Amino acid sequence: MAIVASCLGLVIPLVLKWIVDGPVAGHDPGGVWLGALYLLLLGLAEAALFGYRRWLVARPLARVEAEMRADLYRHVQRLPVSFHDRWASGQLLSRGTTDLMLLRMFLAFPLTFLVVNAVTILAGFAILLSQQWSLGLVLLVPVIPLVILCSLFETRYSLVARQAQDQVGDLTTVVEESVLGIRIIKGFGQHRSQALAFRELSRRLRGTELAKARLLAGLWGLITTIPELAIGAALVLGTVQVADGDLSAGTLVAFLSTALALRWPVESIGFLLAMSQESATATARFFEAMDAQEEAEAPGVCASHLSGELPPGPRSADAAGAEPAPAGAESVAADQDVGIRFDGVTFRYPDAADGSAPVLSRIDLHIRPGETMALVGGTGSGKTTLTALVPRLHEVSGGRITLDGEDIAHMTRERLRGLVSVAFEEPTLFSASVGDNVAMGGGSPDDLERALDIAQAQFVRRLPQGVDTQVGEQGLSLSGGQRQRLALARAVVGRPRFLILDDPLSALDVHTEALVEAALRRVLQDTTALVVAHRPSTVLLADRVALLSEGRITAVGTHQELLRSNAEYAWLMSGADDRHDEGEDGR
> Pick from 258, 290, 322: which residue ends a domain?
290
**Choice among 193-197, 361-365, 408-412, 520-524 with the minimum mean pLDDT:** 520-524
Q: How many domains does the chain have?
A: 2
Q: Which one of 340-344, 490-494, 576-580 scores highest in mean pLDDT?
A: 340-344
Q: Is the pLDDT of residue 190 over 60?
A: yes
State mean pLDDT over 560-578.
79
The answer on pLDDT for 517 being more than 70 is: yes
Q: Is the pLDDT of residue 320 over 50?
A: no
Between CA 200 and CA 212, with CA 206 as vertex, the angle to 5 degrees is: 145
Domain that holds residue 224: 80-290
Residue 478: exposure state from Cβ atoms within 10 A (0-12, 13-18, ≥19):
buried
φ/ψ of residue 203, rounded to 5: -65, -40
Write down the pLDDT at residue 584.
Answer: 40
Residues of the chain with pLDDT > 90: what percent?
10
Give the mean model confidence (pLDDT) for residues 295-305: 53
Q: Are residues 168 and 285 in the same domain?
A: yes
Instruction: For residue 44, tell me if it sits in a domain.
Output: no
- Lowest mean pLDDT: which of 6-10, 132-136, 167-171, 310-314? 310-314
Mean pLDDT, residues 70-95 taken together: 86
Question: Do 177 and 268 fall into the same domain?
Answer: yes
Are residues 414 and 342 part of one domain? yes
Highest mean pLDDT of the ranges 33-42, 181-190, 206-215, 444-453 = 206-215
- Sheet of 340-347, strand order: 360-367, 340-347, 398-403, 406-407
More confident residue, 72 or 380: 72
Across the range 403-430, mean pLDDT stands at: 85
Q: Is the pLDDT of residue 576 over 80?
A: no
pLDDT band at 337 (very low <50, low <70, confident <90, very high): low
- Which position has the higher pLDDT, 100 or 485? 100
What are the DSSP calls for 173-194, one per residue? HHHHHHHHTHHHHHHTT-HHHH
Residue 306, pLDDT above cutoff 60: no
Q: Tell me what pLDDT residue 38 has.
A: 82
271 and 375, same domain (yes or no): no
pLDDT for 87: 84
Instruction: pLDDT band for 291, please (50, 70, 90 cuts).
Output: very high
- Same-domain pairing of 262 and 361: no
What's the mean pLDDT when you consider all of the chain? Answer: 80
Determine phi and psi for 191, rounding to 5 degrees: -65, -35
* Same domain? 262 vs 350: no
Higher pLDDT, 570 or 180: 570
CA-closest candidate to residue 22, choices 8, 36, 4:
36
Evaluate whether residue 576 is within a structural domain.
yes
Angle between helix 133-140 and 110-131 (nearest 10): 140
Q: CA 280: distance to chain centroid?
A: 19
Domain identity same for 408 and 544: yes
End position of a domain, from candidates 270, 290, 310: 290
CATH classification at residue 253: 1.20.1560.10
Containing 154, the helix (H) or strand (E) segment is helix 143-180
Higher pLDDT, 40 or 30: 40
Most confident of 98-102, 132-136, 331-335, 445-449: 98-102
Q: Is 260 found in the same domain as 206? A: yes
Pick the range with the lowest mean pLDDT from 20-24, 116-120, 508-512.
508-512
Assigned domain for 537 exists: yes
Give me the pLDDT at residue 72, please.
Answer: 92
**Residue 435 is assigned to a structural domain of this protein:** no
Question: Would you say how long the chain is, in residues?
Answer: 587
The neighbour count for residue 115, using CB atoms within 10 Å, is 12
The CATH number assigned to the domain holding 397 equals 3.40.50.300
Kindly state the average pLDDT of the residues 50-57: 83
pLDDT tens, 227-275? 888 888 888 888 888 888 777 777 778 778 888 777 778 777 777 888 8
| pLDDT confidence band for 342 (50 / 70 / 90) | very high
Same structural domain for residues 397 and 513?
Answer: yes
When pLDDT is cut at 50, 70 and 90, the band that residue 394 belongs to is: confident
339 and 285 in a single domain? The answer is no
- Its pTM stands at 0.67
In a domain, 26, yes or no: no
pLDDT recorded at residue 334: 43
Final residue of a structural domain among 261, 290, 319:
290
Residue 28 pLDDT greater than 60, yes or no: yes
> How many other C-beta atoms lie within 10 A of the C-beta of residue 48?
12
The mean pLDDT of 76-101, rounded to a whole number, is 85
Per-residue pLDDT at 125 exceeds 90? no
Q: Which whole number is the average pLDDT over 541-547?
A: 90
pLDDT at 230: 83
281 and 133 inside one domain: yes
Residue 507 domain-assigned (yes or no):
yes
Domain-embedded: residue 311 = no
**Residue 546 pLDDT:** 93
Sign of CA dihedral 468, 471, 472, 475: negative
pLDDT above 90: residue 319: no
Q: What is the pLDDT, as a whole number, of residue 286?
A: 92
How many angstroms separate the CA atoms of 274 and 105, rounded?
A: 12
**pLDDT value for 148:** 82
Q: Is residue 499 part of a domain?
A: yes
Residue 119 to residues 112, 122, 460: CA-CA distances in angstroms? 11, 5, 66
On whether both 376 and 263 belong to a single domain, the answer is: no
